[in-house]
Structures are given as structure tokens and as C-alpha cells.
């Protein structure tokens, strides 16, 4: 279900919502040339804000099913690796400034304790991703918040992304976060009666990169259109980059 006026998408599985919000971004997104951050010089089609409500995020497969002719944005195996290595492990390699796990792992057990000790009646089970130094990083964390709440006997998760790659990032990110939720749920179920719940995701920068435009066009009836002003800006900015 899509409410285009409110940039709201609701669906059962991660795959359902991924496909629906792809259509929404193609139709409602604005385009601009990236001049700072990741993929400088590319065009982005971006939603100014969006809310995704995945009501049954545990449905498998977690990864989208694609036609054989199109590349997969991720797989369940990649999602499992992402969960283990990047979300649940706090080891930061030499070439990395951080991983999400370096923020999540030190806080996750405390979140579980807060919910267990309150029998699910706490609003404090919230993980912050990033710190006051993150703004000085070349690539600050895109995921910034992971909130857990028990609502009517179900463990819900709410997340916020400041910037979010729709085509390749969203399905792997949400798949991995669902596995984090399932881990927390397994711990809670040792002490209380609780079932799996939904994921609500907010973003103020959900976007499709230019490098994925052709793939997205193959998946959508509606085709991505870029304004002539943005195309001219891309050419002008590219010329400035070439001149150094």
C-alpha cells in the first residue's frame, strides 16, 4: 500500500516494501547532482522523507527475488554475512573508521536488559549509531538510530537513516536488522512472552543512484526522468572536476 501524498509505504515483507518504494521514488523523488559525500558527480533521484512499515519482516527469503536477467541487489547469504560481520561484530579493521557493530554491540545487551527487567514496558531501549565525532568523518554512518519497543506482545523495531541507497542498500540493511531483532527476541523469550513484530523505517534521504537507473527502469512500468537543468548541472560540475 502506497500513500504518495505522505510518502508512506506499507507491506508485509521487506521485498514487498522495497518494490513499492522503488515506484514511489521514481515518481515522487527529486533529482540532483551529488557534490559532497558518496558518488560525487552522479545524479540521485531522492525522496525528501519517507516512512516504511514492514508488518511481517521475518518472511523469507529476506532478499528480493529478481528475474534471471537482472542482477540481485543482495542474497540471504550476503545478508547473513552482513549481520554477523557488520552488525554484530565490534571489530573495526585497519581500513575502516567504524562499523555499525562497533556501536550496536556495546549497547545491544543493555537494550535487552531494559526490556527484560521492565517486562517489555520501557521506552529506553534505543541504540545510537554514531557519536559527536561522527560528523567529522568523510563518510558518517547512514544508519543513526535503532529503537526497540514491545507493543501488544510484539517486539517492534524503528530505525532512521540519514541517507539510504534504495536499490542495493535497503534490502540488505533491513534484512540484517531483522536478524538483529530476531537475536534480541530470542533473548527476551527466555524470560517473557513476546512475539516478533514489525519494522518501521524512516529516512530523510532515501535515493536511487544514477548507476542503478537502467536496472530500476527494467523493473518499473514508470521510467526515471531527469530534468534538463540537472543534466546541464552534471555536465558543468563534471567539467569543473576534470579541471581540478
Query: What would the 3-class secondary structure string for 100-119 be?
Result: HHHHHHHHHHHHHHHHHHCC
pLDDT digits (tens, 9 = 90+) for 43-100: 999 999 999 999 999 999 999 999 888 999 999 999 999 999 999 999 999 889 999 9
pLDDT tier for residue 244 given thresholds of 50, 70 and 90: low
Parent domain of 43: 2-243
Instruction: Give the integer Cα–Cα distance in Å for 214 and 197.
Output: 35
Work out the percent of the chain whose per-residue pLDDT is above 90.
91
Q: Tally the domains of the chain.
A: 1
Rounded distance, CA 31 to CA 169, Å? 19
Q: How far is CA 25 from CA 19, 94, 219, in A?
A: 10, 36, 13
32, β-bridge pairs: 44
How large is the average pLDDT for residues 148-163?
Answer: 98
pLDDT digit string, tens, across residues 184-217: 999 999 999 999 999 999 999 999 999 999 999 9
- Residue 163 pLDDT grade (very low, low, confident, very high; cuts 50, 70, 90): very high
> What does the mean pLDDT of the chain come to?
96
For the four alpha carbons of 107, 110, 112 and 118, in that order, the dihedral sign comes to negative
> Cα dist. 216→20, 22, 88, 224, 239 in Å?
12, 8, 31, 8, 27
Bridge partner residues of 207 (DSSP): 46, 165
Q: Can you tell me the mean pLDDT for 8-29? A: 97
Reported residue count of the chain is 244
The confidence band for 38, taking pLDDT boundaries of 50, 70 and 90, is confident
What's the CATH number where 190 sits?
3.30.572.10
d(CA 240, CA 35): 11
Q: Residue 165 pLDDT > 90, yes or no?
A: yes
Amino acid at each position: 500500500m502506497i500513500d504518495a501524498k505522505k510518502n508512506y509505504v506499507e507491506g508485509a515483507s521487506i521485498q514487498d516494501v522495497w518494490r513499492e518504494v522503488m515506484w514511489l521514488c521514481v515518481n515522487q523523488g527529486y533529482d540532483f547532482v551529488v557534490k559532497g559525500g558518496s558518488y560525487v558527480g552522479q545524479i540521485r533521484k531522492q525522496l525528501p522523507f519517507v516512512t516504511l512499515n514492514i508488518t511481517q519482516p521475518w518472511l523469507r527469503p529476506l532478499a528480493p527475488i529478481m528475474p534471471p536477467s537482472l542482477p540481485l541487489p543482495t542474497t540471504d547469504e550476503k545478508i547473513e554475512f552482513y549481520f554477523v560481520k557488520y552488525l554484530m561484530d565490534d571489530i573495526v579493521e585497519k581500513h575502516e573508521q567504524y562499523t555499525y557493530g562497533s556501536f550496536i554491540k556495546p549497547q545491544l545487551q543493555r537494550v535487552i536488559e531494559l526490556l527484560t527487567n521492565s517486562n517489555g514496558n520501557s521506552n529506553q531501549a534505543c541504540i545510537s549509531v554514531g557519536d559527536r565525532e561522527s560528523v567529522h568523518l568523510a563518510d558518517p554512518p547512514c544508519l543513526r538510530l535503532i529503537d526497540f519497543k514491545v507493543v501488544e506482545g510484539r517486539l517492534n523495531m524503528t530505525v532512521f537513516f540519514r541517507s539510504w541507497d534504495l536499490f542495493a542498500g535497503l534490502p540488505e540493511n533491513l534484512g540484517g536488522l531483522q536478524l538483529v531483532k530476531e537475536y534480541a527476541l530470542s533473548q527476551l523469550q527466555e524470560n517473557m512472552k513476546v512475539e516478533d513484530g514489525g519494522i518501521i523505517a524512516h529516512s530523510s534521504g532515501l535515493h536511487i543512484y544514477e548507476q542503478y537507473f537502467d536496472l530500476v527502469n527494467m523493473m518499473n512500468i514508470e521510467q526515471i526522468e531527469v530534468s534538463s537543468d540537472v543534466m546541464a548541472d552534471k555536465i558543468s560540475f563534471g567539467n569543473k572536476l576534470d579541471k581540478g
